[in-house]
Amino acid sequence: MNITTQKRNDIVARNVAFIFGVLSFAILAILLALFGPNVNTPIITGLGFFFFAIRYAIARGYSASAKFILCLLPPIVTFIAGLLPKFYDPSFTDILYYDTRFVLVLLSIIPCLIFDLRERVALTITLGTVLLLIVTFDPVHNWLGVGYYQSGFTGPAYYFINYITVASFCGIVAGALTLKKSVQVSEAKYRLTFQRLALAFKNLKRQNEKITSQQAELLQASKLIEEQKLALQHRVEQINANLQHANDELVRHNNELTQFSYAVSHNLRGPIARLLGLANILHVENALREGEDFPLIVRHIQQSAKDLDEIIKDLGQIVDIRNNVMQRTELVRWDTEWQKTCGLLNLPDEFIDKHITIDFSCDFVHGVRMMVGSILYNLVSNAIKYQSPERMLQIEIRTYSKNGHNVLEVADNGLGIDLDAFGGDVFKMYKRFHMHKDGKGIGLYLVKTQVEALNGSIELRSKPNEGSVFKVRFPAIQSV
């Protein structure tokens, strides 16, 4: 590891220590304001001073040992801090069985930020320690007699949090290490390029000095010198061209790194967004049939996932990563989404009156507003795009309740689809059935994916040159 890389990692370690030190005192202030002093107050206070002490130690030159302690001590202290209230505070709640895990997942990013990939021993020990604490969380609690169920809590889905925590840990660590590897490979390429250019300039300078020292002896060979000067000029031009090319390569690689950073952000945020969506769906579908404890655990999972999502957003700012993914279920009005669809498709009132019949007998559907709007938009836009040239377009849009479902039905008299030939491919990605029309073959795939994400189903009846009828069934609203 070269000196430049080591200095950069030391700077990152100091900044990370400062950030976590500030966060520790901020959390301490919030806990004191809400709950007053407790058994963890001196631990959090000491942890805050510890982070600032680590920053000072790195600045004084003790970077190797300080960084190692920075990665190991906070997870261990966090684990212990999660245990103590269960022995000394009889009024503790089951949230203590969740927040410690997610703090440990957060702390796993520290080794990825401050250690070089070639420091395999340090990475293995520190990340292995965090993973060991996560995996042994429940066994240690049960061994000490303060396990979740031993403490009187009865949530049936409690152990599901272990899978979520381990998956989050693996996703964060894999993404961070992949990004670091890409940066280090690019740096090595840049360093080699600059070394070659420096050597070329050094050789050129040496040759110019040699020509200058011999100029007095070569006055009679002016023609030869002129030819040599022309050759040198040509070489300088080639070197300048190489420099320009190297500069263009640097710009291109930087752009690629930026795009890669956004891709890693999506991969890190994706599991969290899906966790939020699953928790919301679990809350709606299982609140009535799983008892009072199940929705309580689901709410804890939701809150923990939201907290972790916010943490990843903050960490994303370090690498200039920003992404907005919102998945919140709510009561969605069909007439509102229809107005949005008309605006997106630029449908004038005359066109609607002439070609479209609307009957929203069921006013609402419970789901993610973005998904519901996208489903309606895709079905209507497909009906318009694939209309038959042989007859006037007619589209019928209805919503109604039937057999415990809220149903969206979109019927048209367009080109239709041969289900005997293509029935198995209708909802697959990149499948197209009317090649004379522009399209990517992803609209119906998105519709089916979004419908299934809302715990719904979709049915298609269609005949070539007669038209199609799409029926989308959503779970009925349980309570308003």
Which residues are within 8 A (CB) of 38 and not within 5 positions of it... i.e. 6 or more apart?
A: 31, 85, 89
Is 233 buried (19+), middle (13-18) or exposed (0-12) by CB count in 10 A?
exposed
Which residues touch 476 (CB under 8 Å, ≥6 apart)? 401, 404, 405, 406
* The pLDDT value given to residue 114: 81
Least reliable range by pLDDT among 69-78, 258-267, 392-401: 258-267
State pTM to two decimals: 0.39
Query: What CA–CA distance (Å, rounded) separates 396 from 422?
Result: 24
Which two tokens mark 271?
Answer: 């599991």
Q: Supply the pLDDT for residue 317.
A: 36
Tell me how far apart the alpha carbons of residues 332 and 284 are, in angstroms, rounded to a whole number.
15
Q: pLDDT tens digit string along 199-214?
A: 888 888 888 888 887 8
pLDDT at 311: 46
The sign of the CA dihedral 371, 377, 381, 384 is: positive
- Would you state the pLDDT for residue 325? 32
What residue type is assigned to position 56 of the chain?
Y
The least confident of 4-13, 95-104, 408-417 is: 4-13
The residue with greater pLDDT, 182 or 260, is 182
**For residue 180, pLDDT beyond 70:** yes
* DSSP code string of 62-106: -HHHHHHHHHHHHHHHHHHHHHHHHHH-TT--TTHHHHHHHHHHH
pLDDT the model gives residue 337: 93
The backbone torsions φ and ψ at residue 292, rounded to the nearest 5 degrees and listed phi first, read: -75, -30
Tokens of 225: 């010198």
pLDDT at 392: 92
Confidence of residue 321 (pLDDT cuts 50, 70, 90): very low
Lowest mean pLDDT among 62-76, 251-265, 348-362, 363-377: 251-265
What the block records as the tokens of 285 is: 């579908």
* pLDDT tens digits, one per residue of 151-161: 888 877 787 88
Mean pLDDT value of segment 129-148: 88
Query: Using one digit for the tens of pLDDT, what is the confidence trace for 36-60?
Result: 787 667 877 887 888 888 888 888 8
Sheet containing 405-412, strands listed edge to edge, beginning at the edge strand earlier in sequence: 356-360, 395-402, 405-412, 467-475, 457-463
Q: Return the pLDDT at 86.
A: 79
Q: How many CA atoms lie within 13 A of 118 on its CB side?
A: 7
Q: Encode pLDDT of 409-458 as tens digits.
A: 999 998 888 888 777 888 887 777 777 676 677 788 888 888 888 889 99
The predicted structure's pLDDT at residue 304: 62
Q: How confident is the model at residue 316 (pLDDT cuts 50, 70, 90)?
A: very low
For residues 236 and 204, the answer to whether their CB atoms sit within 8 Å is: yes
Domain ranges in the chain? 3-153, 329-475
Greatest CA separation for the chain? 107
326, 388, 462 from 444: Cα distances, Å: 22, 19, 14
CB < 8 Å & 24+ apart, contacts of 415-421: 415/386, 415/387, 415/388, 415/464, 415/465, 416/462, 416/463, 416/464, 416/465, 416/466, 416/467, 416/468, 417/460, 417/462, 417/464, 417/468, 418/463, 418/464, 419/460, 419/462, 419/463
End-to-end CA distance of the chain: 61
Lowest mean pLDDT among 345-359, 388-402, 438-452: 438-452
**What percentage of residues in the chain have a pLDDT greater than 70?**
80
| Residue 2 pLDDT greater than 80, yes or no | no
- Output the 3-class SS for 286-316: HCCCCCCHHHHHHHHHHHHHHHHHHHHHHHH
Q: Tell me the C-alpha distance between 235 and 227, whole Å.
A: 12
Please say if the pLDDT value at position 64 is more than 90. no
> What is the rounded distance in angstroms from the CA atom of residue 136 to the CA atom of residue 14?
30
* Predicted local distance difference test score (pLDDT) of residue 48: 80
Which residues touch 388 (CB under 8 Å, ≥6 apart)? 413, 414, 415, 465, 467
Give the number of residues written for the chain. Answer: 480
- Owner of token pair 């209805």: 398
Cα 106 to Cα 134: distance, rounded to the nearest angstrom:
12
The CA R_g of the chain, rounded to the nearest whole Å, is: 32
pLDDT of residue 471: 94
162 or 290, which is more confident: 162
Instruction: Give the residue-averaged pLDDT of 20-45.
Output: 79
Place of tokens 């200058």: 212
| CA distance readout (Å), 25 to 11, 16, 28, 29 | 22, 14, 5, 6
**Would you say domain 329-475 falls under CATH 3.30.200.20?**
no
Helix (H), strand (E) at residue 471: strand 467-475
Q: In this predicted model, what pLDDT tens digit does every residue of 190-200 receive, in sequence order?
A: 878 888 888 88
